[in-house]
Chain A
């Protein structure tokens, strides 16, 4: 099949998966410390102490690769009027009434909102995480700062996990999407149906 449409370069895909894998590891090692029901997940990392040691390093790696990803993708994610229009049709989108959806570029309104959500959340996680990082940085902060940081870290991590659940589900739900991040290509029909303006931009049709 030579008619696949190119959507992501090998570099973009690798960057995305570096973020994805480090996010999953950060989430699993973090949630292990969040609730006793998930403490068993710490054994994936070699036990509670290893979990505590590794989690912040995974987090810093995640932040670094995410910054690269954000630099690659932010221009395409600037929110435009048609994205606001798309957001107003969220109900139609969710009920697969695609014929009522406005045209979208490379990313639709939902994808852009997710992008900017994560852009906001990652730096908060990084900063609050550094504050509570033992043994390196936490001793330098007053107790009240630690308490605020640890609470924000937990709440923001939760929002982040919810955002990624939505992201993963959307990829599985919209058939033909996963291929964009595994092979880098999508079918012309997929592009035309879901991202009409982008398709036109690429093909002139």
Chain B
């Protein structure tokens, strides 16, 4: 569902401009997740289910707090619990709320072959429009964070919408509203970066000298950012990629190959056509054909006779 108040910055499999008539567009927004404040209560998971009307299947306990174990078509955000010995004898429990990062350069959108199945609003939200989704899974191939999930029920891809329906009418995402510790905040991206700077300064004072903001530039920055106590080692947080970017394989597949291949196919067709009209068809020479199939009796009136002047030959009938 396209939101009128949000202009469209990019639209999957679309080569003409998308609606973006407003001069300023929308203010880029961001959700900031401060991992140092997260207590792992999963209220955000519940709020997400509630607002989006999703109910995952009840799973089984596998001995860790992660529940559900992974993102699904019904669970657009999950808490990932990592027990990490950050240094000898110092155990830390790092809890990361995983979900779509809303990349400024979204690999899913780049990979999607279906027009309008994925849109990026001018405020930065990357949204799936499932009514246009064809279920090919290319978005999964394109995503550097392994986020989209295809439903077994309808074979459509689902993920966090950053509550685009709420944001479009001036509300914060459901997970932000519900977070009891203020670990998740939402606002303009600039404000969120400022807010993060304050938090990082505070963490540094408390001994986390490598605290930092996770806003990876490899994907053009993200509209979901983390404050990490160990900003130098994002992998500690359930393998958060250190320097994510769209895979070169995907860039190659969806980049230069597309125009080149179209050009190649067009060229082959044109080459054939022009070969035909210049060199001409390959015929069996008359004398060989004659050897097998005697020609019909010649029409004497049309035979070439050097004795007759050209003008008297019946070339024009």
A interface, CB within 8 angstroms of B: 3, 32-37, 39, 42, 47-49, 51-53, 94-96, 98, 132, 134-135, 138-139, 143-144, 146-148, 150-151, 154-155, 158, 161-162, 165-166, 169, 172-176, 187-190, 192-194
Contacts and interface: CB of A to CB of B under 8 A. Distances in A.
Interface string B207-245: 000000000000000000000000000000000000000
Contacts of B269: 165
Given A34-B258, A148-B249, A192 B114 contact: no
Contacts of A169: 272, 275-276
B261 A189 contact: no
Contact of B140 (A49, A98, A143, A144): A143
Interface residues of B, number: 46
B281 A49 contact: no
Contact of A143 (B141, B284, B289, B291): B141
Contacts of B187: none
Contact of A135 (B132, B152, B257): B152
A52 B258 contact: no
B193 interface: no
A37 B132 CA distance: 17
Given A162-B264, A162-B265, A98 B292 contact: no
A147 B249 contact: yes
A94 B279 contact: yes
A34 B261 contact: yes
Contacts of A158: 257, 261, 264-265
Contact of A189 (B113, B115, B265, B289): B289
A134 B154 CA distance: 12
Contacts of B258: 34-35
A168 to B, nearest CB: 8
B39 interface: no
Contacts of B140: 138, 143, 146
B279 A189 contact: no
B160 to A, nearest CB: 19
A33 B293 contact: no
Given A134-B135, A147-B249, A173-B281, A36 B14 contact: yes
Given A36-B113, A151-B252, A154-B261, A176 B141 contact: no
